[in-house]
Structure 1
Amino acid sequence: MTVITFTGGSSLQLLQAIVFLTLLLHLRPALGFISSVGDADSDNIRCLDGERQALLKLKRGFLDAYGNLSSWRSGDENKNCCNWKGVHCSNQTGHVLELRLGFSYLGGMINPSLLELPYLTYLDLSYNDFNHSHIPEFIGSLGNLEYLDLSRAKLSGPIPHQLGNLSHLQYLNLSCNNLTIIENLEWLSHLFSIKDLDLSFTNLHVANDWLEVVSGLPYLTTLNMAWCDLPPMGHSSFPHFNNLKYFTSLESLHLENNQLKGGIPKFFGDICTLRELRLSGNNLDGQLVERINDLSGCAKDSLEVLELARNQFTGSLPDFAMFPSLKVINLFSNKLNGTASKTIGSLHKLEHLDVSSNSLQGVISEAHFSNLSKLRHLQLSDNSLTLEFDFNWAPPFQLDEMYLRSCKLGPTFPNWILTQSNVTTIDISHAEISDTIPAEWFANFPPKLVLLNLSCNQIHGLLPNVSKMPLNAHTIDLNANHLEGPLPLFSTNLSSLSLSKNRFSGSLTPLCKINGGLLGFLDLSDNLLSGALPNCFMHWPNLFILNLAGNNFSGEVPSSLGLLSMLVTLSLHNNNFSGDFPLSLKNCSSLKFMDLGNNKFSGKVPAWIAEGLPQLIVLILRSNKFNGSIPWHICQLKYLRILDFSLNDISGTIPQCLNNFTAMAHKGKSSSNLFDGDYLGTDGGYVCMGIYVDSAMIVLKGREYEYGKNLGLLKIINLSSNKLSGKLPSEISSLLELVVLNVSKNNLIGEIPQMIGQLKQLESLDMSWNRFSGEIPSSMSELQFLSHLDLSYNNLSGKIPSSTQLQGFDATRFIGNWALCGLPLTEKCPSEETPPQSEPTDDGSKDVEKDKDEFKKWFYAGAGLGYIVSFWSVCGSLLLKQSWRHAYFLFLDNLKDWIYVTMAVNKARLWRKFQNQG
């Protein structure tokens, strides 16, 4: 019991004492608490039995797979719930005041036993997994709650309006769930005490009252409504704000990634307490200079963070000197142009400047950085800026990050960069540097350096000694330069290395010293490296990208390659590798992209390929010496989008189970990305230093192209230039998303599948140099996207179907089919010919005799040509090479077909005429 004694004093002092006593009685349960890590007197404080039982009920509702609530037990040895993990009690009453259960990996349900903790002021259930259950309505009855965090808890459904009953709530975080609202945010207006409100990643697209509601919360200091699909801020929502001082306490406003349009509301500039304004990722537009002037109210003195990235602002950079407190300026990915004002150099508090991915131009000089001593992050990439500094210029700042991609820094190596001793990231790619790398720079690398990108320049000469680089230097990108010589020794802890598109030569062996187990990305493509691969891949268990294409490597693939269980991309294209299909790859079950094309591999395509590599999306074996038949097991590769077995010696029939290629049959995500996930590192030279993009040589429209960024848009089957026989399976017509089909230069027979017109996405179809017969299916006229077609040199007959698409191709795409007629061929079909009118004669017998003579000429000419064909069919085998003989026989087959068909047509025509006139 608390006793207060008065010995005198004024009535005012007495009143103050009474007020103090009243507050003490009301706040007593919340004065102090103990925790499981806690206070000296914790052993003397016991939780109440009723509240302990409530916690045990709460535990029974949870799924605690990791045992984080193992201390919550009912036994006498652990009876005091105030010592349980995550439980915090009052150090005076023992009442449970706080439950800190965030990041506890809990599942299951939230039990109503929470209502039996009447003094609970703090509830954190964030970063758990409640399996998309709803927020319980009873949480709105926890009347003493001051702090509620349910973020990233896998909750879904509508936000219960009962939360509006929590009038003491000061902190509410419901972010990053799958929540929505049914009607409006009216319930939010009752949270009179709220200071920090985070509803980010909540679907608020019907909340037309959002601005009116949140602006009226008197104590609100932080508002986060990013990624909420908010309705636009209509002018009718805030004309009264200049008169009624709303947002009177707001310091931080996050409205990123919504659909906000127009300009920046002018009343934002009248929020005198505003420190952070984050509006990136919207559709705001207009001249930036004018929009920034709308913030010229009292907010100009307090504003520290201004983020307007990924909008549609145009014009030049404004004079930011009007915001003397600015620490962060983020304007990347707008439509800005013009030059940068030197007044930016007066922002002595500026720490972060990002104007990348615009169309800025002109010269950046020392004057732009004259007073920026606190600058730590500089991002000027992807503009047309020229950085001109005195050779001995010493910047006033020490950068942490430096992104200057596509800025002109050369031709000599920028000496001022050597002064940055704290830098962790250096990107000076595409910088027009045509110099050697200073040896002293590599010898004195900044100790914190994590990423170095010098790619896409004209840097030449030998690479200096890099073995003494700091252990933190995890990523090195030197691709697309003119570096030469043997591979140097790199740091053992390297995690990403790209040396592609240079002139490095010699063996791969020096890289075996990278044995720290961190290497995840290795791209050495398009160099002059040679010899057999060393058997040291066991040092790189985390490697997921391996690109050795375009070198002179030879020999068999080493067995240790099979230890790369994390490998996703393997490109050995265009080398001299030999031997059978590498058996060790059977263990690389994560492979999605595999290109072994243009080598000397031989043997059969293994039947285990689907079982061992079930994730394959791209399988390219073109231009090798593989033989045998196509295993039917390959149809089990349901994710396959690109299959290229062309230019091999594969025989047998095409498997009928092609319809199991479900990724080619069903429409997937419309994306140029090959994979759903992105890989950090270099991207093979398409966008230096960014997201890795696999590339492959693809035969499309009769020519070979290198596809990189758009490879994911292609669905391809290429089986051309083999010895395949039999029919083209009708199941091919079920691959509705197929873009390219090439079965040319084989021995395929039978008719073209009648339903081939179902392949609506087909852009390239090559069936030339086979023995297809019958008519061209009429459904082919429905292929509206077809831009390349070749049906030449087959045994096709009849009229070419009529369509704008088919008649638009050159006649050469149909030649060699001697019974084919109709446009674009010059040969008319029999039904289209107009019989010639004979002049009347005295004796019709003259015409009859003339036709009899013509019939005899055709008969004897055909017999003579048949003899010639038979003769050369025998003698040709003694005179021609094997590669010529195959084409020659095909030519003879077509020639005979032409002769016989021509004879038959003319014989029938003449005989009918002879009969009619006889």
Structure 2
Amino acid sequence: MVDMRFLVACVVLWVHYSCGALAISNTTVKCRVKERLSLLSLKRGFVDPRGCLSSWGSSENHTDCCTWNGVSCDSRTGHVDALDLSYYSLEGNIPLNLGYLSRLQTLYLEGNQLEGGIPKSLALCNLTVLDLSDNSLSGQLDEFVASFDQCGSISLQNLDLSYNCFTGSVPNFSRFSVLERLYLSDNQLNGTVNGGIGLLSKLQTLDIASNFLHGIIAETHFSRLSQLGYLDMSLNNLEFKISPDWIPPFQLFHIHVRSCKLGPGFPNWLRTQKSDLSLDISNAEISESGFELKFVRRLNSIKFFTDSYGDYVDPNNRGPSSTEDIATLVWKGKVSKYQSILRLVKSIDLSCNMLMGEIPSELMDLVELVALNISRNMLSGKIPATIGQLKSLDFLDLSRNHLSGRIPSELSQVDRLGVMDLSHNNLSGEIPHGTQLQSFDPSAYEGNAHLCGAPLPKCPTSPTQDHPNDENSEEDEQIFGRGFFISSSIGLGTGFWGICSLIFLSKAFRYAYFRLMSGIHDKVYVIVAINVAKLRRWRRGST
């Protein structure tokens, strides 16, 4: 039998802890005094022209810093664990005493007008999210990374330093072992990319676009990036030197490497990407004889890509787009499995490469296409007549290629076309008649020496056009002359011998005929005799 004393002790302990928990839940935890003072000092360090920090004060109504604008506290400990001062129009430098908030886990200072460097005191070991984007911060990122050496382990998962003025190289982030998202785009980074970035096995997003980075990108930069899905290195001077046999450890949904050197051949490692993909490899010095159509058919979005367009993928988007039929056209989708997805492709930009061959007729099957840019390549042949199928096309740029032949009349059926450039090709003949085609500026057709018709000057009229059937006309006249005389002779002969036959064969007709002729003879004789007599009398009277 269970000891009653044991049961009583258990009940007492249960009541004690239940009442204690209830008392704690009814007690409002306020922020720590030390951290409140740090925040007040932080307020004095910022220039706040809009007064967004006006709720931060020391009066009785503002003693609890956990209720201040942009401040969040841990509900159990009262420590400040989150600070969101985004788009407060704050000015000045980042105050040094921000580092006194040692329990801070998330810090958002994006969209302000902050200047100077990142203070070393901001290297908080518990920090998981740091967003300093869209400011005017400067300095070397090496110094920022080195400031975390004090930490036994670094908790940072999301680091956004984009749209600032940082210089130097992309440093060695290998100690940031749990980093998932790294945004360094739109700075003034002018060094190389450290290979240590390839050791970040948790990294999902890497965006270093729109800088002045140079140097080699090798397999080591991606060696352990098995979780990577978003890669943007575009608008740099980077050169990819990847083995043709290399199989990357990732499957990307977004690859933008515009203006990086990938060529001269089409990169084999891109062919391994099988997920729905937004790809930008424009101006990548790819010199391929013909398009990689099999690869293209695996792409949901093909954009050897310039700009976001309408409701397409936004290059500044921090992650995958939720729009299902987004496409930045650049070779996407298996023919068998993804034909329906291909029809959702909206934009294709393969400009500024060295692509050769004819324009694939398969491109004209993308009936939802809104923008097509394959300018500044080495494409030849004719513009496919099936281009008239692209009824939704609003932007078309085929300029600066070696296209020849006539502009297909089917192009005039694309009545939504708002921007078009066919300049600097070898097109010839008359521009097809259509409201849209005649409304474009002549510059859209310039550089095609044998192209004519509105809005260009009228097509010259050749002698054959002035007298298109001169030889035939002379031949017709000759034929008409011979035919006329032959038919006339036959008619006269038939009539003459027909009358003669009737005179000889029909007695009644013969009498009637001669009576008619005699009557006519008499009338003519009388008329002539009378007129001759009148003429004689007139002459006698005049003498």
Match of 1:520 among 373, 394, 398: 394
| Structure 1 position 500 matched with structure 2 position 370 | no
Whether the 8 Å CA contact 1:508–1:529 is kept in 2: the answer is no
**Residues 578 and 224 of structure 1, relative CA distance in 2, 3 Å threshold:** same
Quick check: 528-537 or 503-512, which moved more?
A: 528-537
**1:578 is matched with which residue?**
453
Match of 2:302 among 451, 456, 467: 451
**Residues 571 and 223 of structure 1, relative CA distance in 2, 3 Å threshold:** farther
**Residues 513 and 219 of structure 1, relative CA distance in 2, 3 Å threshold:** farther
Match of 1:266 among 104, 116, 120: 120
Whether the 8 Å CA contact 1:556–1:577 is kept in 2: the answer is no
| Amino acid in structure 1 at the alignment position of 2:382 | G
Whether the 8 Å CA contact 2:73–2:79 is kept in 1: the answer is no
Match of 2:198 among 338, 345, 355: 345
Instruction: Say which SS state the counterpart of residue 372 (structure 2) adopts.
Output: strand
| Structure 1 position 534 matched with structure 2 position 409 | yes
Instruction: Say which SS state the counterpart of residue 91 (structure 2) adopts.
Output: coil
Match of 1:238 among 97, 102, 121: 97
| Amino acid in structure 1 at the alignment position of 2:300 | L
Matches within 5 A, 1:78-227: 180-181=50-51, 184-186=54-56, 193=66, 218=78, 220-227=80-87
| Amino acid in structure 1 at the alignment position of 2:347 | T
Matches within 5 A, 1:647-662: none
**2:221 is matched with which residue?**
368
The structural deviation recorded for 1:486 is 5.7
**Residues 525 and 360 of structure 1, relative CA distance in 2, 3 Å threshold:** closer
| Amino acid in structure 2 at the alignment position of 1:497 | L
User: Equivalents in 1 of 2:268, 2:251: separation in Å?
Assistant: 14
Match of 1:557 among 416, 433, 442: 433
Percent of aligned positions with the same letter in both sequences? 30
**Residues 437 and 420 of structure 1, relative CA distance in 2, 3 Å threshold:** farther
The structural deviation recorded for 1:418 is 0.7
The structural deviation recorded for 1:263 is 1.8
**2:349 is matched with which residue?**
477
**2:109 is matched with which residue?**
255
| Superposition TM-score, scaled by structure 1 size | 0.38
**Residues 505 and 266 of structure 1, relative CA distance in 2, 3 Å threshold:** same
Match of 2:293 among 400, 421, 442: 442
| Cα deviations by residue, 1:110-138 (Å, 9 ceiling, x for unpaired) | xxxxxxxxxxxxxxxxxxxxxxxxxxxxx
**Residues 532 and 415 of structure 1, relative CA distance in 2, 3 Å threshold:** closer
The structural deviation recorded for 1:352 is 1.4
The structural deviation recorded for 1:392 is 0.9
Whether the 8 Å CA contact 2:163–2:185 is kept in 1: the answer is yes
The structural deviation recorded for 1:318 is 1.8
Whether the 8 Å CA contact 1:256–1:278 is kept in 2: the answer is yes
**1:228 is matched with which residue?**
88
| Cα deviations by residue, 1:372-418 (Å, 9 ceiling, x for unpaired) | 11111222222222211211111111111112222222222211111
User: Equivalents in 2 of 1:529, 1:487: separation in Å?
Assistant: 15
**Residues 14 and 464 of structure 1, relative CA distance in 2, 3 Å threshold:** closer
Matches within 5 A, 1:324-473: 324-437=177-290, 441-445=292-296, 447-453=298-304, 468=335, 470-473=342-345
Which structure has more strand as a fraction of its residues? 1
User: Equivalents in 2 of 1:467, 1:514: separation in Å?
Assistant: 21
Using CA pairs below 8 Å that are at least 6 residues apart, which structure has the higher relative contact order?
Answer: 2
**Residues 529 and 247 of structure 1, relative CA distance in 2, 3 Å threshold:** farther
| Superposition TM-score, scaled by structure 2 size | 0.61
Whether the 8 Å CA contact 2:297–2:334 is kept in 1: the answer is no
Instruction: Say which SS state the counterpart of residue 363 (structure 1) adopts.
Output: strand
**1:167 is matched with which residue?**
none
User: Equivalents in 2 of 1:359, 1:347: separation in Å?
Assistant: 23
**2:526 is matched with which residue?**
none
| Amino acid in structure 1 at the alignment position of 2:399 | S
**2:480 is matched with which residue?**
none
The structural deviation recorded for 1:234 is 5.6
**Residues 300 and 449 of structure 1, relative CA distance in 2, 3 Å threshold:** farther
Instruction: Say which SS state the counterpart of residue 262 (structure 2) adopts.
Output: coil
Whether the 8 Å CA contact 2:277–2:300 is kept in 1: the answer is yes
| Cα deviations by residue, 1:402-444 (Å, 9 ceiling, x for unpaired) | 1222222222221111111115122222222223246xx4124
The structural deviation recorded for 1:186 is 2.3
User: Equivalents in 1 of 2:333, 2:196: separation in Å?
Assistant: 40
Instruction: Say which SS state the counterpart of residue 386 (structure 1) adopts.
Output: strand
**Residues 536 and 365 of structure 1, relative CA distance in 2, 3 Å threshold:** closer
**Residues 234 and 269 of structure 1, relative CA distance in 2, 3 Å threshold:** closer
| Amino acid in structure 2 at the alignment position of 1:376 | G
| Amino acid in structure 2 at the alignment position of 1:453 | F
**2:361 is matched with which residue?**
488
Match of 1:305 among 154, 158, 163: 158
Whether the 8 Å CA contact 1:520–1:544 is kept in 2: the answer is yes
Instruction: Say which SS state the counterpart of residue 293 (structure 2) adopts.
Output: helix
**Residues 14 and 471 of structure 1, relative CA distance in 2, 3 Å threshold:** same
Whether the 8 Å CA contact 1:499–1:523 is kept in 2: the answer is yes
| Cα deviations by residue, 1:759-796 (Å, 9 ceiling, x for unpaired) | xxxxxxxxxxxxxxxxxxxxxxxxxxxxxxxxxxxxxx
User: Equivalents in 1 of 2:258, 2:62: separation in Å?
Assistant: 47
| Structure 1 position 546 matched with structure 2 position 420 | yes
Matches within 5 A, 1:281-320: 281-298=134-151, 301-320=154-173
User: Equivalents in 1 of 2:412, 2:333: separation in Å?
Assistant: 21
Instruction: Say which SS state the counterpart of residue 295 (structure 1) adopts.
Output: helix
| Amino acid in structure 1 at the alignment position of 2:154 | D
**1:639 is matched with which residue?**
none
Whether the 8 Å CA contact 2:189–2:212 is kept in 1: the answer is yes
Aligned residues: 390
| Cα deviations by residue, 1:625-664 (Å, 9 ceiling, x for unpaired) | xxxxxxxxxxxxxxxxxxxxxxxxxxxxxxxxxxxxxxxx
Whether the 8 Å CA contact 2:277–2:332 is kept in 1: the answer is no
**2:490 is matched with which residue?**
none
The structural deviation recorded for 1:222 is 4.3
Match of 1:600 among 442, 455, 458: 458
The structural deviation recorded for 1:359 is 2.8
| Amino acid in structure 2 at the alignment position of 1:238 | N
**Residues 557 and 297 of structure 1, relative CA distance in 2, 3 Å threshold:** farther
Instruction: Say which SS state the counterpart of residue 406 (structure 2) adopts.
Output: strand
Name stretches of at least 5 consecutive residues in structure 1 with no aligned partner. Answer: 1-6, 28-178, 199-212, 456-462, 580-595, 603-918
The structural deviation recorded for 1:347 is 1.0
Matches within 5 A, 1:785-804: none
Matches within 5 A, 1:52-91: none
**Residues 347 and 545 of structure 1, relative CA distance in 2, 3 Å threshold:** same
| Structure 1 position 509 matched with structure 2 position 363 | no
**Residues 183 and 488 of structure 1, relative CA distance in 2, 3 Å threshold:** closer
The structural deviation recorded for 1:23 is 9.7
**Residues 222 and 442 of structure 1, relative CA distance in 2, 3 Å threshold:** farther
The structural deviation recorded for 1:450 is 0.7
**Residues 529 and 508 of structure 1, relative CA distance in 2, 3 Å threshold:** farther
Name stretches of at least 5 consecutive residues in structure 2 with no aligned partner. Answer: 1-6, 28-48, 307-329, 461-543
**Residues 251 and 391 of structure 1, relative CA distance in 2, 3 Å threshold:** same
Instruction: Say which SS state the counterpart of residue 284 (structure 1) adopts.
Output: strand
| Cα deviations by residue, 1:665-718 (Å, 9 ceiling, x for unpaired) | xxxxxxxxxxxxxxxxxxxxxxxxxxxxxxxxxxxxxxxxxxxxxxxxxxxxxx
